[in-house]
């Protein structure tokens, strides 16, 4: 494991420094039209209890039928994190009573999960991820059912239940306790989310609850054995995950340093107060009376099925980033930024497809994307899929800069007009007369005028005040409304003015 450059995260206690240890259990809703064991729809935002089949409502005698698509997505996810795929897995019943769980048990996989150990590369350094990477182990991924949702705010004295989510397929992705700071935990979730979205096994929408984490935290003195952990349930934003870790680590240090002991328990996060509260003491597996679900056969995967899952994977973020850097010659930073989200990478690649020699335009296109396009989209509050300018239109604009038709400065102006009107760059340049003047004769004439009306400055320049060169460039560009080719202006000025002093 490579060490992080950022100084190691430590809690400063009265008795010295404390290390923080974090393991995350991420629940990711599997992208699938139907639920894990029924044909009911999984669409988000429907009227309560309109997407509940007899299986989801646990009517007597109903039998679960495994949704193959969910299995496929879990296997693809395992392959995407280089995990071991278990050709034999099995479903268990995890028994507990709660009003949002009509079955009285959740079907999960305790003893034989579908995916074994894997790993995820993370980095805290966005500018140069390769130099400061760290490998986080994934212990397992198993498939399980989601529960329904209780609604306590609909009626003054009663609670309602919405079973739409009941039976929706989840992957539980369990990390090793390899994370050691709030930032690392966030980087891990960000990377995991990116991978899931690349392969399309989960939409990663944290606001809608498609991705949420149980956050396990413990503290220890550096070098000592692992401390007792607490688990904070259902944390549903990147910011909250970090807040939970900060709060919980500090709380544990305070408890231990004042002579107390950490008890293994389940806690809840209250974002309004930014604190965690004890919910219940931690149950062990035996509290749930786990046993193999008698309604479901063990799941046995064929080699062909796994092979097809593998073949269906797109180029993944790490591979793509390496290719952008090594083949397309992008800076480490641009390669990282453009591959963080699949949509961004696809947009960029569509732009490159407009040419036979992508290496030649890749760097300038990447610079333009990360500064101009991202800046504009940011201002407008749009995602890249909603960009008013298409990759082909961007290619046209970049082409005009590359062949000297317009300067980079004028290009900014043209881009603004493209965003407003949706017109193509060539059309705008022609209509507005923004074409760059590279004709030496025309530029020489303007230079002569500038020199004639600034004789004193010409004398000063020739007398040694070489800083005045910029003044002449500025005056010439101004006289030509910014449309002169700056390179030609520079060359001609040097020729006419001669060397300073």
Binding site for ligand ADP (CB under 6 A): 21-25, 174-177, 216-218, 226-227, 229
CB 263 → ligand ADP: shortest distance, Å? 13
CB 31 within 8 A of CB 198: no
Specify the residue, 103 or 218, whose C-beta has the smaller distance to ligand ADP: 218
Determine the Cα–Cα distance for residues 164 and 484; give it in Å rounded to an integer.
64
Q: How far is the CB of 23 from ligand ADP (least distance, A)?
A: 2
DSSP helix/strand/coil, 36 = coil
Residue 248 or 396: which CB sits closer to ligand ADP? 248
Which lies closer to ligand ADP via its Cβ, residue 42 or residue 86? 86
Give how far the C-alpha of residue 165 lies from the chain's centroid of Cα atoms, to the nearest Å: 25
Count other Cβ atoms within 10 Å, centred on residue 472: 22
**Rounded least distance, CB 214 to ligand ADP, Å:** 7
Q: How far is the CB of 264 from ligand ADP (least distance, A)?
A: 9
The answer to whether the CB of 170 falls within 8 A of the CB of 146 is yes
Per residue, what are the HEC states of 297-343? CCEECCHHHHHHHHHCCCCCHHHHHHHHHHCCCCCHHHHHHHHCCHH
Cβ(257)–Cβ(14) under 8 Å? yes
Q: Please state the closest distance from residue 49 (CB atom) to ligand ADP, in A.
A: 31
Between 23 and 129, whose beta carbon lies closer to ligand ADP?
23
Minimum Å distance from CB 20 to ligand ADP? 9
Q: What's the closest the beta carbon of residue 95 comes to ligand ADP, in angstroms?
A: 15
User: Residues 107, 93: contact at Cβ < 8 Å?
Assistant: yes
Residue 266 C-beta: closest distance to ligand ADP, Å: 9
For residue 286, report the phi and psi dihedrals to the nearest 5 degrees: -70, -20
Cβ-contact 407, 401 below 8 angstroms: yes
Between 94 and 342, CB nearer to ligand ADP: 94
* Nearer to ligand ADP among residue 129 and residue 137 (C-beta): 137
- Which residue number, 288 or 374, has a Cβ lying nearer to ligand ADP? 288
Whose CA is closest to 91, among 346, 294, 277?
Answer: 294
Give the H/E segment covering residue 490: helix 486-497
The 10 Å CB-count burial string (b at 16+, else e) for 105-141 is bbbbbbebbbbbebebbbbbbeeebbebbbebbbbbb
* Cβ neighbours of 358 (radius 10 Å): 16
Residue 227 to residue 241: CA distance in whole angstroms: 20
Q: Which residues contact 365 (CB under 8 A, 6 or more apart)?
A: 348, 351, 352, 394, 395, 398
Report in angstroms how near the CB of residue 289 gets to ligand ADP at its nearest.
15
Identify which of residues 134 and 229 has a Cβ nearer to ligand ADP in the complex. Answer: 229
Nearer to ligand ADP, 106 or 436 (CB): 106
- Residue whose CB is less far from ligand ADP, 189 or 217: 217
Give the chain's largest Cα–Cα span.
Answer: 100
Smallest gap from Cβ 108 to ligand ADP, in A, equals: 11
Residue 395 CA: distances (Å) to CA of 61, 339, 354, 479: 61, 19, 7, 30
Residue nearest to ligand ADP (CB): 23
């Amino acid at each position: 494991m490579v060490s992080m450059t950022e100084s190691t995260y430590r809690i400063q206690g009265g008795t010295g420094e404390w290390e923080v240890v974090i393991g995350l259990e991420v629940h990711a809703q599997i992208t699938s039209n139907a639920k894990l064991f029924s044909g009911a729809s999984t669409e988000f935002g429907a009227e309560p209890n309109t997407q509940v089949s007899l299986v989801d409502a646990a009517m007597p005698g109903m039998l679960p039928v495994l949704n193959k698509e969910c299995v496929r997505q879990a296997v693809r996810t395992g392959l995407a994190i280089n995990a071991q795929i278990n050709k034999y897995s099995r479903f268990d019943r995890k028994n507990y009573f709660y009003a949002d769980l009509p079955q009285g048990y959740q079907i999960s996989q305790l003893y034989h999960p579908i995916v074994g150990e894997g790993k995820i590369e993370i980095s805290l350094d966005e500018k140069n991820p390769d130099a400061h990477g760290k490998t986080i182990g994934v212990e397992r991924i198993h498939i399980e059912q989601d529960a329904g949702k209780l609604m306590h705010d609909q009626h003054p004295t009663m609670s309602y239940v919405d079973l739409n989510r009941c039976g929706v397929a989840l992957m539980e992705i369990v990390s090793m306790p390899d994370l050691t700071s709030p930032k690392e935990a966030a980087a891990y979730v960000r990377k995991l989310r990116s991978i899931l979205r690349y392969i399309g096994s989960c939409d990663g929408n944290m606001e809608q609850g498609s991705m949420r984490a149980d956050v396990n935290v413990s503290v220890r003195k550096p070098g000592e054995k692992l401390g007792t952990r607490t688990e904070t349930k259902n944390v549903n934003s990147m910011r909250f995950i970090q807040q939970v870790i900060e709060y919980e680590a500090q709380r544990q240090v305070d408890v231990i340093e004042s002579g107390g002991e950490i008890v293994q328990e389940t806690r809840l996060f209250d974002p309004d107060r930014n604190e965690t509260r004890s919910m219940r003491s931690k149950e062990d597996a035996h509290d749930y009376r786990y046993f193999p679900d008698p309604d479901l056969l063990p799941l046995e995967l064929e080699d062909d099925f796994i092979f097809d899952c593998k073949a269906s994977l797109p180029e993944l973020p790490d591979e793509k980033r390496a290719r952008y850097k090594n083949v397309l010659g992008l800076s480490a930073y641009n390669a990282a930024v453009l591959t963080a989200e699949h949509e961004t990478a696809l947009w960029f690649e569509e732009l490159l497809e407009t040419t036979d020699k992508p290496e030649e335009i890749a760097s300038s296109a990447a610079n333009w994307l990360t500064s101009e396009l991202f800046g504009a989209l940011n201002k407008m509050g749009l995602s890249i899929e909603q960009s008013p300018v298409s990759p082909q239109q961007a290619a046209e604009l970049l082409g005009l800069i590359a062949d000297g038709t317009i300067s980079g400065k004028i290009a900014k102006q043209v881009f603004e007009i493209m965003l407003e009107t949706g017109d193509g760059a060539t059309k705008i340049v022609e209509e507005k007369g923004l074409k760059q003047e590279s004709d030496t004769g025309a530029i020489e004439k303007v230079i002569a005028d500038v020199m004639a009306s600034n004789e004193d400055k010409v004398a000063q320049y020739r007398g040694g005040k070489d800083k005045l060169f910029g003044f002449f460039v500025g005056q010439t560009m101004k006289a030509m409304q910014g449309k002169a080719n700056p390179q030609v202006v520079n060359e001609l000025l040097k020729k006419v003015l001669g060397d300073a002093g």
